[in-house]
Structure 1
Amino acid sequence: MLSTGLPQMSVPKLERPGPLRERVYEALLELITTRALHPGQHLVESELAGHLGVSRQPVREALQRLNTEGWVDLRPAQGAFVHEPTEGEADQLLTVRTLLEAEAARLAALNAGEEGVEALFAIVEEGRTAVAADDVARAVALNAAFHAKVMELAGNAVLAELAAQVDRRVRWYYTPVARLRGGTSWSEHSDLAFAIKEGDAERAGRLMREHTERTRRSYRHRNES
């Protein structure tokens, strides 16, 4: 068993064409975001390189970049470790997310067309299927897709750019509470989709604010029995 804790064959070999440094960075960031590499985990360059089918140099460069961005902690004489977010970090980011997404939902209700609304409902059905199958990874991905679609329907490029900056960290924090939120989260998504369909901007904004606040509270209390 590798000390990185990744299941054998869980990480595909990277394709050689293209900027390898960037591809290694994206692969490691995805593994961290999905918690395949969990907070506090020791990251061994040689083992990560073996998983990804590359030399240690692009892995080292990716870890340095991830350290700069706050995803990895480089500790003198110890090595690299996945960053362990503090409660304060998570609370602050999820609070900002609430503000951004409530406004996006309000704007989506004013701007969304029939095709966009249908896409929202399609994601909701897929999400419910993932929850029923206890497919947490799929549920997390679909949750991100739903919120991204709402942001797209809002039609505000600046708002979308700001949301994109926090999207991956939101996924990082949502993963450990996805099973806890379960079907309730998708019922809330459905209510929100109906509000957008009906063009009720005030209700859509309120529902999104309540929805994201519930996720924030779930994260804060995730370890309580």
Structure 2
Amino acid sequence: MLSTGLPQGAVPRLERPGPLRDRVYEALLELITTRALQPGQHLVESELAGHLGVSRQPVREALQRLNTEGWVDLRPAQGAFVHEPTEQEADQLLTVRTLLEAEAARLAAANATGAGIEALEELLAQGLQAVADDDVDAAVALNARFHAKIMELAGNAVLAELAAQVDRRVRWYYTPVARRRGQQSWIEHRDLITAIADGNEQEATRLMREHTEHTRNSYHARTRP
């Protein structure tokens, strides 16, 4: 096992065609947001390069970009480490998420079509199955897709663009509490679908605000027994 904590074969080697530095960046960002690379973990250029099947240069460039964006900390004479978010950072991000998602739910209730509701119900069924299977990775991915679908149904391109900017950080914070939230999160999703299908803008807004606040509270409570 590499000192980066990734088992051999966990990440496929990158193909050469295309902008390699961008592909390395995306691969490392995905490993960080899914917590395959844990906050505080030391990132060794040579080992990451070997794991991804590339030279050290694109890895170095990707780490510099990730540092600029706040995903990685570059420490003089020590190297690169996955950023460890503070409670304040998480609270601020999740508070912004609540504002964006609540408005998206309101607009979705005003604009959603039958096909859109069916898509949400399908994601709900898949999410409940992932929870039943104790497949945390699938549950996190499906949760992101569920919220992205509501954002799509809202039909506001500017709102969707703003939400996309925080989406990966939301996944980063949601992953450690996904099992704790478990089935309850998807029960809340079911209630949201009902409000959106009924065109009840006020109820959809209220439910989404409560739903995202539950996630924020679960994140802050994650270290408590």
Give SS of 2:77's match: coil
Q: Distance in 1 between matches of 2:190 and 2:174?
A: 18
Q: Distance in 1 between matches of 2:82 and 2:19?
A: 24
RMSD: 0.4
Partner deviation per Cα, 1:107-137 (whole Å, 9 max, x = no partner): 0000010001100010000000000000000
Read off the aligned partner of 1:41 and give its amino acid letter: Q
Q: Distance in 1 between matches of 2:146 and 2:44?
A: 35
Read off the aligned partner of 1:194 and give its amino acid letter: T
Instruction: Give the C-alpha shift of residue 16 in structure 1.
Output: 1.1
* Corresponding position: 1:16 with 2:11: no
TM-score after normalising by structure 2: 0.99
Read off the aligned partner of 1:104 and give its amino acid letter: A
Read off the aligned partner of 2:18 and give its amino acid letter: G
Gaps of 5+ in 1: none
In structure 2, the residue matched to 1:56 is 56
Read off the aligned partner of 1:177 and give its amino acid letter: V
Partner deviation per Cα, 1:78-123 (whole Å, 9 max, x = no partner): 0000000000000000000000000000000000100011000100
Instruction: Give the C-alpha shift of residue 15 in structure 1.
Output: 1.3
Q: Distance in 1 between matches of 2:22 and 2:130?
A: 31
In structure 2, the residue matched to 1:75 is 75
Q: Distance in 1 between matches of 2:105 and 2:220?
A: 24
Instruction: Give the C-alpha shift of residue 14 in structure 1.
Output: 0.6
Read off the aligned partner of 2:6 and give its amino acid letter: L
In structure 2, the residue matched to 1:142 is 142
In structure 1, the residue matched to 2:184 is 184
Read off the aligned partner of 2:50 and give its amino acid letter: G
Gaps of 5+ in 2: none
In structure 2, the residue matched to 1:194 is 194
Q: Distance in 2 between matches of 1:202 and 1:154?
A: 14
Read off the aligned partner of 1:128 and give its amino acid letter: L
Instruction: Give the C-alpha shift of residue 8 in structure 1.
Output: 1.3
Read off the aligned partner of 2:72 and give its amino acid letter: V
Instruction: Give the C-alpha shift of residue 141 in structure 1.
Output: 0.1
Read off the aligned partner of 1:59 and give its amino acid letter: V
Instruction: Give the C-alpha shift of residue 140 in structure 1.
Output: 0.1
Q: Distance in 2 between matches of 1:156 and 1:136?
A: 30
TM-score after normalising by structure 1: 0.99
In structure 2, the residue matched to 1:169 is 169
Give SS of 1:73's match: strand
Task: Map 1:1-225 to 2 at 5 A.
Answer: 1-225=1-225
Give SS of 1:80's match: strand
Partner deviation per Cα, 1:169-213 (whole Å, 9 max, x = no partner): 000000000000000000000100111111111100100000000
Give SS of 2:204's match: helix
- Runs of 4+ in structure 1 displaced over 3 angstroms? none
Moved more, 79-88 or 7-16: 7-16
Read off the aligned partner of 2:139 and give its amino acid letter: A
State how many pairs are aligned. 225
Partner deviation per Cα, 1:46-81 (whole Å, 9 max, x = no partner): 000011000000000000000000000000000000
Give SS of 2:219's match: helix
Instruction: Give the C-alpha shift of residue 17 in structure 1.
Output: 1.0
Quote the sequence identity (%): 80
Q: Distance in 1 between matches of 2:79 and 2:223?
A: 28
